[in-house]
Amino acid sequence: MSSLTFSAAPIPAPPARPGWQPHLCGIVTSVALHALALALLVQGFSPMPEEPTAPMTLRTQLVSLPTPAPPTPPVPEAVVQPPAPATPTPAPVVEPEPAPPAVDEAALARKRIEAERTERRQAAERERQVRERQRQEQLERERQARERAEAQAREAAEREAQRLADQRAAEAAARAEAERLAASRAYEPIRKTAPDYPGRALDKRIEGDCTVRYSVDVQGRVQNPEAEADCHPLFIRPSLAAAKNFRYQPRIVDGRPVAVPDVRNTFHYRIQ
C-alpha cells in the first residue's frame, strides 16, 4: 500500500475575526485535500516514477510453406428448430353485467299508448277484413243463387219447349191419323164378296191366308190385283176373283176424286 504524505508550511494566521466564520475557508480546503488523497489511494496511484523500457528489436526470417490442401467443406449441422412457444390460452373475458337502466315513466307511458294505438289499428283492420270477407261471401251466395235461378229457368224453359214440341208432335200425329182415317173412309168398300173355298183345299183340309195388293181408281173399282208371296197356290185364283168384284167409294181430295194405290186386303180361309 502506498501512502502519500503532504507537508505544508505553516500559514500565517489571518487576523482574528470574531466567531467561527474566520476558520470556514480552511476547513473546506482541508476536507477537499483529504478527499483527493483518498481517491488517489483507491485508484492505485503510486508516486514512484516508472522505469524506462529497453528498445524492442524486430527479427525476420523467410520460411517456405507447402501449398495447403483445399479445405473440407463443413458438414452442415442439423438445424434444430426451437419448439414453438405454447400459445397461452386467453382467459375468458367476463363482461361486467350492465347496470339496469333507469326506468323512464314517460317513455313507458308513450310505449303503452303506442301499443294501444297499434292494437286498435289491428283490431280495426281485422274487423274490416271480416266485413270484406262477409261481403264477398254474400256476393258469392247471391251469384250462386242467380246461377241456380237461371239454371232452373233454363230447365223450365227447356221442359216447356219440349212439352210444346211433344204437344205439336202429338197434334201433328193426331192430324195425320185423322187424315188417314178420313182417307180410309174416303175409299171404304161399298161391296165386298167372299171368295169361294177351293174344292181341292177343302178335300185336303187345307187352311191359310192370302193377301192381295191392288189400287182403287177414281170410280172406286179395283185395278191390277196381285197376290202376295204368302198365298197358298190353291187360294190365289179365288182371292183375285173376289178382289176384282170389290167396289169402293172414291177418295175425294180438294173436291176431286183421286186414285188410291197400294191397297191390301187379306182373305182368311178357314174350315168351320
pTM of the model: 0.33
In whole angstroms, give the CA distance from residue 176 to residue 77: 137
Q: Are 260 and 189 within 8 A, CB to CB? A: no
Q: What is the pLDDT of residues 200-248, one digit of tens each?
A: 888 888 899 999 999 988 888 999 999 998 888 899 999 999 999 999 8
The alpha-carbon radius of gyration of the chain (Å, integer) is 83
pLDDT at residue 93 in the model: 59
Interatomic CA distance for residues 183 and 123, integer angstroms:
88
Q: Are 222 and 212 in contact (CB under 8 A)?
A: no
User: Is residue 196 helix, strand or coil?
Assistant: coil
Instruction: Report the greatest alpha carbon distance in the chain.
Output: 227
Distance CA 42, CA 35 (A): 11
What is the structure's pLDDT at 34?
Answer: 81
Which CATH architecture fits 190-269? 2-Layer Sandwich (3.30)
Closest CA to 209 of 170, 266, 147: 266
Give the H/E segment covering residue 2: none
> Which residues are within 8 A (CB) of 1 and not within 5 positions of it... i.e. 6 or more apart?
41
Give the HSE-up count for residue 97: Cα atoms under 13 Å, Cβ half-sphere: 2
Residue 9 is predicted with a pLDDT of 44
Rounded Cα distance, 19 and 142, in Å: 139
CB 220 within 8 A of CB 248: yes
Per-residue pLDDT of the chain (272 residues; tens, 9 = 90+): 434 333 334 445 555 555 556 567 778 888 888 888 787 777 664 555 555 555 666 666 666 666 666 666 555 555 445 555 556 565 555 566 665 555 678 888 899 999 999 999 999 999 999 999 999 999 999 999 999 999 999 999 999 999 999 999 999 988 887 776 665 555 678 888 888 898 888 888 889 999 999 998 888 899 999 999 888 889 999 999 999 999 988 887 777 888 888 899 999 998 87
pLDDT of residue 37: 77
Domain boundaries, the chain: 109-186, 190-269
- 124 to each of 21, 23, 129, 132, 136, how far by Cα in Å? 110, 113, 9, 12, 18
Nearest to 189 by CA among 247, 266, 259, 264: 247
> Could you give the 3-state DSSP secondary structure of residue 140?
helix
